[in-house]
Structures are given as structure tokens and as C-alpha cells.
Amino acid sequence: MKPYVISNVGMSLDGKLATVTGDSRISCEEDLIRVHKIRAKVDAIMVGIGTVLKDDPRLTVHKIKADKNPIRIVVDSKLRIPLNARVLNNEAKTIIATTEKADKEKMKLLKERGVEVIVCGRDKVDLKELMKILYNKGIRSILLEGGGTLNWGMFKEGLVDEVSVYIAPMIFGGKDAVSYVDGEGFKTVEEAVKLKLKKFYRLGEGIVLEYVVLR
């Protein structure tokens, strides 16, 4: 058993999550509110360490009124997370998923600060195993908020159930700009993750597309 995973991003029309310099201010105010409404409904929000290092997000619900914040999960094989990262503040519980390679001293420091550290995997976090562990902790729904490398890991392992994307009317270009799903990519169309469109609508200047992942 695993939690139900919703992948959400804001991207440019050419599928980029940020420009080549890492500028990721893509969402309009209406979209931020949409995302915070999803955050308020799920048990947890998950990001990769790349996103924490680049954007230093709080990953809380602060654009709308909500009773509680979801648990924040950071996927970080080597515990590269800075101790002053905003995702470690006391606004919500934080879980860091790491590996046997992680520095034990840093792990101790994080635990002392009330952060839960889950060790699963040798070099890279074993995402399938992580999903099982999180489910057993009572986490039934996760909003996956990227970035492109973690998105690939989750799609490749077949762990995503639903997709919602906000497409801003912008073109970023740049072969090194992070895209919605990076990693090695599937080799054939046959292997690709297939989706079924459920809903689409205009939001601000952009559009929102919602899909379910077909198995």
C-alpha cells in the first residue's frame, strides 16, 4: 500500500519549471491559491533537495486560511539540507528521507531539532520503500511539488496517481533549464506514463490541466 500522490507544477508552455538561471516565479496569484488549496487537503507535501537548495520554500499553507499544515517531506540522500532551511522551521512537522550514506552527525543534529529522519536506500532514496514507510505512518495523500529530478524518480517508479499542471503563457527555452520531468527519460513512447485528461480550465492568464495516471 502507498499514499495517493498528486504531482503539481507550474510550468512555461515549453515545459520548464524554471529558467536557465533558476528563476521559478511562474505561478500567478490565482494559481498559488489553487496550490495552497490542494496543500490544505493532503497529509504531506514532498520535494527534492534540489528545490530546497534553490528556492528555500516553507511548504506551508499560507495563501488561504487552513486548520493545519501538512507534513513536509524532503528527499535528500546525503543530508545536504542547510540547518537554517525554511522547511525546517517550526510551522509544521518535517520528515527527511535519506540514505545510509548520510552523515551521522548531521542526522543527530536534525533529530535534536525535532526533524524525523527516515533512512531508506543506499545511494539514492528508495522511493518505493519510502512510500510504504510513509503509508505505514498514516500518510494517505501526498502533494509532490518537484522538481524535475524527483518528478522523474516518482514517475519512473509508477508512484504518481494524479497530475495537475498550471501552464503559464511564457516560453523559457534553454536545454539546461529544469523541466517538469527530467532524469534519463523513457526510451520509447510505449514506456511513457499515460494520462487521461479529467479537467481543464483558464486560471488568470494561464490554464490548468488535470489528469489521472493510467496503469
Residue with smaller CB distance to ligand NAP, 145 or 162: 145
* Whether 9 contacts 17, CB under 8 Å: yes
d(CA 192, CA 197): 16
Stretch that binds ligand NAP, among 62-70, 77-85, 131-139, 185-193 (CB under 6 A): 77-85
Q: Binding to ligand NAP by residue 206, rule CB under 6 A? A: no
Report d(CA 47, CA 33) in Å as an integer: 19
Count of residues touching ligand NAP (by CB under 6 A)? 32
9 lies in the binding site for ligand NAP (CB under 6 A): yes
Per-residue three-class SS string for 33-63: HHHHHHHHHCCEEEEEHHHHHHHCCCCCCCC
Partners of residue 109 on adjacent β-strands: none
Burial class (CB in 10 A: 0-12, 13-18, 19+), 86: middle
Residue 87 near residue 93, CB atoms below 8 Å: no
Contact window for ligand NAP (CB under 6 A) among 10-18, 102-110, 132-140, 189-197: 10-18
Least distance in angstroms from the C-beta of 52 to ligand NAP: 7
**Three-state secondary structure call for residue 130:** helix
Q: What is the CB neighbour count within 10 angstroms for residue 125? A: 25
> Which position among 36, 58, 63, 78 is part of the footprint of ligand NAP (CB under 6 A)?
78
Binding range to ligand NAP, per CB under 6 A, among 41-49, 64-72, 86-94, 112-120? 41-49
Task: Name residues contacting ligand NAP, limited to 132-191 (CB under 6 A).
Answer: 145-150, 153, 178, 182
70 near ligand NAP, rule: CB under 6 A: no
Choices 51-59, 109-117, 132-140, 203-211 (CB under 6 A): range interacting with ligand NAP: 51-59
- Residue 156, all three cell numbers: 519512473
CA-based torsion, 4, 10, 16, 17: positive or negative? negative
* Interacting residues with ligand NAP (CB under 6 A): 9-11, 17-18, 22, 24, 26, 47-51, 54-55, 75-78, 80, 124-125, 127, 145-150, 153, 178, 182
